[in-house]
Amino acid sequence: MASSSSSPLLLLRPPPPPPRSSTFIFLNLQQIPFNFRFRKQVLSFKPFLSVATNALTESSDSPKSLDPDDPQSLLQELADTFNLPPDYFSQLPRDLRLDLNDAAFDLSNGPVMEQCGQELGMTLLNISRAWESADLSTSSALVNSLPQLVNSLTNNNKSALGKRLIAAGRRFQSMGQYGQGELQMISKAMISIGNVLSLTPVSDSTEEGSKDETRMFKFGELQVELTREKAYIGAAIGFVYGIISWEVSQGLQNVPESSFQYANDNAALIAQSLRGALLVIFYGSTVLSAFATLGLVLLARDLKSEKK
């Protein structure tokens, strides 16, 4: 009777768990820490992979080889970055066109002829004018001529060219991302190559030290080198123009109004208004000529003192 009552209870019990051998327990203990450590290592390895990927990407955008002993190949890499559609510069937005004009100014401002030589200086001036007019075809052709010019440059010319490339490249860098990143490729090439060329050892020669200190005046496409002789000539022209303006204004003022005959009152009013306007113009020209003459004389003296 007891055996018959206990049989249903035995059927309702859950089956006993399978026996775990020592080998199974050992494998589980080994597997859990291994999985935990592996996941932790993978998570900690992801930032390193990200940094390495970014570094590889940046290095792929920069010039491949920067050999300071081969400036011709360096400038050829720079020329390759300007192989863009002919209307690329002309399609830039207005703010980027202004940055392009700033880059043109940094490339050719100051005594570019004295620092870079006659031929290279003229090339840089033409490149800057092409950038200001958004003429990519002309600027690309001029940049492609730089590798042929570099072999005839002195160390001082190469160093000056490098500094100008760095200054202009930073302007391109400030333009940000546009299109497919062509402007950033140009900026990276200019800055990298400029850093290499600017490290060229400069020789201090007596011939370069005896050159007159010059200043450049730039207004739009007009760029004039200021020297003491030009300042004195400008002062003389301003003085003569001031005398002429003064004499004309005195002549107009000394003419009596009674010497003129007018058809009616309206004609008399028009003549009086015209006479007053002419007096204001010529008196103003006299004052402006005096200020211009004084300023040019002071500029010439300043240039003379800098030379000493």
Does 53 fall in a domain? yes
Residues 219 and 232 in one domain: no
pLDDT band at residue 62 under the 50/70/90 scheme: very low
Residues 219 and 290 in one domain: no
* Alpha carbon separation from 221 to 98, 128, 161, 230 (Å, rounded): 14, 9, 21, 19
For tokens 């003569």, the residue is: 240
- Answer yes or no: do 127 and 141 share one domain: yes
CB neighbour class for 104 (10 Å; exposed up to 12, middle 13-18, buried from 19)? buried
Mean pLDDT check: name the lowest of 4-18, 24-38, 293-307: 24-38
* Residue at 66 is within a domain: no
pLDDT (tens digit per residue) in 236-282: 999 999 999 999 888 888 877 766 677 787 887 888 888 888 889 99
Structure tokens at 207: 């011939």
Domain membership flag for residue 13:
no
Q: Where are the alpha helices (DSSP H) in the chain?
A: 2-12, 22-61, 71-80, 94-108, 112-116, 118-132, 136-144, 146-149, 155-173, 182-198, 206-209, 228-254, 265-307
Residue 54 lies in domain: 25-61
Same structural domain, 167 and 273: no
d(CA 191, CA 185): 10
Query: How many domains does the structure of the chain reveal?
Result: 3
Q: Distance between CA atoms of 43 and 31, rounded to whole angstroms?
A: 19
**Confidence at residue 218, expressed as pLDDT on a 0 to 100 scale:** 63
Within this chain, do residues 129 and 150 fall inside the same structural domain, yes or no?
Answer: yes
Say if residue 212 is in the same domain as residue 96: yes
* More confidently predicted of 142 and 72: 142
Q: Which amino acid is at 243?
A: I
> Tens digits of per-residue pLDDT, 158-193?
888 889 999 999 999 888 888 888 889 998 988 998
The answer to the question of residue 214 being in a domain is yes
List pLDDT tens digits, range 76-124: 888 888 888 888 898 899 989 999 999 999 998 888 888 888 888 899 9
Segment among 3-12, 216-225, 256-265, 295-304 with least mean pLDDT: 3-12
Please give the pLDDT value at position 18: 54
Q: How confident is the model at residue 13 (pLDDT cuts 50, 70, 90)?
A: low
In this model, does residue 147 exceed pLDDT 70? Answer: yes
Domain final residue pick, 171, 190, 223: 223
80 and 54 in a common domain: no
